[in-house]
Amino acid sequence: MPDQPDSTTEAPKRDDFLARILDAVVDLLETARDWVQQEAEATVREKVVLPLQRLGLTLASAAAAAALLVIALIFLAVAAVIALGNLIGYAWTFFAIGMAYLIGSAVFLVIKVRSIQK
Per-residue pLDDT of the chain in tens (118 residues, 90 and over written 9): 455 555 556 667 778 888 888 889 999 899 999 898 888 888 888 888 889 999 999 999 999 999 999 999 999 999 999 999 999 999 999 999 999 999 999 999 999 999 998 7
What pLDDT sits at residue 16? 86
Domain boundaries, the chain: 7-117
- pTM for the model stands at 0.54
Report residue 4: phi and psi, to 5°. -80, 135
Quickly list DSSP for 12-61. Answer: HHHHHHHHHHHHHHHHHHHHHHHHHHHHHHHHHIIIIIHHHHHHHHHHHH
> What's the CA gap between 51 and 43, in Å, rounded?
12
Query: By 3-state DSSP, what share of the chain in percent is helix, strand and coil, each rounded to 5?
Result: 95, 0, 5
60's CB contacts (< 8 A; 6+ apart) are none
Q: What is the pLDDT of residue 47?
A: 86
